[in-house]
Amino acid sequence: MTGAGISAESGIQTFRDADGLWEGHDVMAVASPGGWQKDRELVIDFYNQRRRQLPTVKPNAGHLALLELEENFEVVIVTQNVDDLHERAGSANIVHLHGELTKSRSTADASLVYDCAYNDINIGDKCEKGSQLRPHIVWFGEAVPMLDIAAQHTAVADIVIIVGTSMQVYPAAGLVGLAKPGAAIYYVDPKPTINYELSKLPNLKVLEEAGSTGVRKVVDELKMGN
């Protein structure tokens, strides 16, 4: 399970830092259905800027260490991040809880999703049903379509590694509470937050450090024991 912290080390600003992406923007103005209805140009421009940044950054040691685990384990990445750094690192199985910057979707039919890579979405870009395309992002107040799939993976995992997330944003933060009894839980974050779900887990190991170094330690430990 990865959050904004792992991408921050690659140079992507996080939504919740003091100098993060929300700076200068009301959260609901750029990340809610109401904001979209009020000012589509503002919302589209906001995500176009985020998308333009992606080619300028690259996966870091944390992303690459998680990829390395695939040599010995069946790995599923459940990420709250909307960037493509896990894909570019080479991870094979990725569940994006909050959508993907590199995709657009129809405002009329949520099942119509299109790859836009690093290209801008523009006012007037439409799906085959004639409706304006929007960023393929899960906004506040919207359902999380991939949540059930993420929950299924979490419930059967023998090992859960949490990296770079505050564990305060639900429903994603509640997934770890679905871990089966006996599952090993690792939490890597420079400022870890022990929420209610984590507090109930007897097999929790906390590493108070950045993902690039903390994940490396977890991966080395797991590979030695495999």
SS3 state at 86:
helix
- pLDDT of 205: 96
- pLDDT of 20: 46
SS3 state at 11:
coil
For the chain, 226 residues long, the average pLDDT of each consecutive 10-residue run is 94 62 72 95 94 96 96 96 97 97 96 97 97 96 96 97 91 93 95 89 94 95 85
Task: Please identify which residue in the block is written with the tokens 């589209």.
Answer: 44
Q: Could you give the C-alpha distances from 52 to 12, 14, 115, 147, 173, in angstroms and in order?
A: 11, 16, 15, 27, 29
Is pTM beyond 0.95 here? no
Active site (catalytic) residues = 98
Cα separation, 141 vs 148, in Å, equals 17
Q: Do the beta carbons of residue 100 and residue 147 sit within 8 Å?
A: no
Q: Does domain 4-109+140-225 have CATH number 3.30.420.40?
A: no
